[in-house]
Chain A
Amino acid sequence: MSQAPQLDIDRVAQLARLALTPEEKATFSQQLGSVLHHIEQLARVDVTGVEPTAHAFAVTNVWREDVAAPGLPVADALRNAPAQRDHMIAVPKVVE
């Protein structure tokens, strides 16, 4: 983090499964460049021996009784599906 790294927007957009227009790529690269430049100051903080915090109040091993209860009915679960057939979500062909 000593110098602002170049964000490879094509690679990152590929990882994020997000199609970007050439204009978006140019704009986001420039805007995120200045955000990353701001973030660079974190390199100055001495974090030797500091444990990371994932949650402010870590709660671990949360159990509840295994009680049978009704789930979401199929019709409700499918209500927002973009396409459906025979009580299933329909998607474009996956395997040729």
Chain B
Amino acid sequence: MSSELHYQSIATLAARLGAKEISSVELTRAAIARTQAVEGRVQAFNSRDEADALAQAAASDARRAAGQDRGPLEGIPIGLKDVIAVRDQPLTASSRILADFVSPYDATVTVKLRQAGAVLWGRLNCDEFAMGSSTENSAFHPTANPWDLTRVPGGSSGGSAAALAAGEAIATLGSDTGGSIRQPAALCGVVGLKPSYGLVSRYGLVAYASSLDQIGPFARTVEDAALVLQAIAGHDERDSTSFRTDIPDYRAELRTRRGPWRLGIPKEYFGTGLDPEVAAAVERAIAFYRAQGCEVREVSLPHTQYCLDVYYIIATAEASSNLARFDGIRYGHRSAKAKDVVDVYFQSRAEGFGAEVKRRIILGTYVLSSGYYDAYYLRAQKVRTLVRQDFLRAYEQVDALITPTSPIPAFKLGEKSDPLAMYLCDIYTIGVNLAGLPGISVPCGFTGGGLPVGFQLIGQPFQEASLLAIAHAYDQAHDWSQRRPAL
């Protein structure tokens, strides 16, 4: 194991760095070397700056030598989805319209990672503007699933999940609007956490659907996810939807919060469309909790069947508004063939956006347009209220909900050409975003064909500490996170 620095957990590496057994430069070199060895097959990165990462690592080693280390992330290489701003680094959102964009400032999470001593390592591929479930919508290249290179890593944060599973980074950040952290985490066999809406600042995150977007960590273990969350959570006056709430010591709470917990199984999440091997793996995770003395009961979230529709109205409406800023005037691609200033908008957007982004802008513009607003957008917002009430009612009886993360394991690249079929990948994750809840995907086994499976725990608003403790109870009793793909 000691030879494979790039596959160790933050918790292990922090101890080894603290004991001066290894240096951050050594660790960063290991991540770079691993990336050079496998990236030709995985293609998780949009860009990477090895000299910059090594300079950060050297600065970290200098801090440590001076007795000024900044905590458990000090010297740890962490990759960022290419929708999170890092000053002087490219920020493309995997779109042609931002192909040449360089960030003039840091996102708040970037500042916080720097303050925690992390080494920012690479810009990770995703679906264009985080719209998709397979990372095939990237304008640059698809990313392969490290467990089977002919399959997708999930999406939209597919690069963040694949880089971690391939050992190219020690942890990564993604963003989750309808499942974009949890679904790729499940498909790549890693932990993925979407925090409660408002816990992590969105300042410096390329906006897709602002009332749903949250940044969160991918990590090898639940404990590592807690360590990264610790660094990035907290109120930010630069994000007006940022929530003022006390931030506990998440890692300490993993040890102090012990069950048994009351877990709910939403019956609507185990219906048709669920792959039998996924169902069986999730059932075994449920059996584990039962054996630990947890009270497991069936609950109902009766508006589940409407979540997908509510999501595709609200998310596309917000996207059509957010993406109006890409007009070829102040930044981003400007068409060379436009006839006048208004034509600059039409042609720059036509040349800069890919098919899925155009589809969502069209749908979002339509549901907001005069004559259709009440029937679509306003009605969707009302049904969103009912979806949220379903969850809050369930929490009168249980501490958390347990479900599959994705109805199916990783599918083949190019397999899902129909947009609606792709949208159905998110049926178990979307409700969590609509209700603003925290959700985590935890690895819970493999299919007969060797593809990872994850289960999802859904927590109460801003109760990440207990959500992580429940997830940790399973994670530390199993060794799924020790398995490595044959790359």
**SS class, residues of chain B in contact with chain A:** helix
Q: Is B211 an interface residue (CB 8 A)?
A: yes
Which residues from B are CB-within-8-Å of A59? 198, 240-243
CB <8 Å contact, A77 and B104: yes
Q: For the complex formed, measure the closest distance between the CB of B218 and the CB atoms of chain A, giving whole angstroms.
A: 23
Residue ranges of B at the interface with A (Cβ–Cβ < 8 Å): 100-102, 104-105, 196-198, 211, 237, 240-243, 303, 305-306, 308-310, 312-313, 320, 324, 327-334, 338, 340-342, 344-347, 349-350, 353, 355, 358-359, 361-363, 365-366, 369, 372, 375-376, 378-386, 388, 418-420, 423, 434-437, 461
CB <8 Å contact, A55 and B306: no
- Please name 6 further chain A to chain B contacts, defined as beta carbons within 8 Å, in addition to the given A18-B349, A41-B309, A52-B381, sorted by A numbering: A17-B346, A31-B418, A35-B420, A52-B378, A52-B385, A92-B344
CB <8 Å contact, B102 and A51: no
Q: Among A12, A53, A55, A93, which residue has the most Cβ atoms of chain B within 10 A?
A: A53
CB <8 Å contact, B331 and A80: yes
CB <8 Å contact, A47 and B383: yes
CB <8 Å contact, B369 and A47: no
Q: What are 7 A-B contacts with C-beta separation under 8 Å? A: A7-B366, A19-B346, A53-B382, A57-B196, A57-B198, A62-B240, A92-B338
Residue ranges of A at the interface with B (Cβ–Cβ < 8 Å): 1, 5, 7, 9, 11-13, 15-20, 24, 27-28, 31-32, 34-35, 38-39, 41-43, 45, 47, 50-57, 59, 62, 64, 72, 76-77, 79-83, 89, 91-94
**SS class, residues of chain A in contact with chain B:** loop
Which residues from A are CB-within-8-Å of B308? 38
CA A13 – CA B345 in complex, angstroms? 12
Contact (A55, B211) CB under 8 Å given A35-B420, A76-B104: yes
CB <8 Å contact, A91 and B320: no
CA A56 – CA B240 in complex, angstroms? 14
CB <8 Å contact, B384 and A53: yes
CA A45 – CA B302 in complex, angstroms? 11
Contact (A17, B104) CB under 8 Å given A1-B375, A38-B308: no
Query: Which listed residue (A16, A39, A50) contacts B361, Cβ 8 A?
Result: A16
CA A72 – CA B329 in complex, angstroms? 18
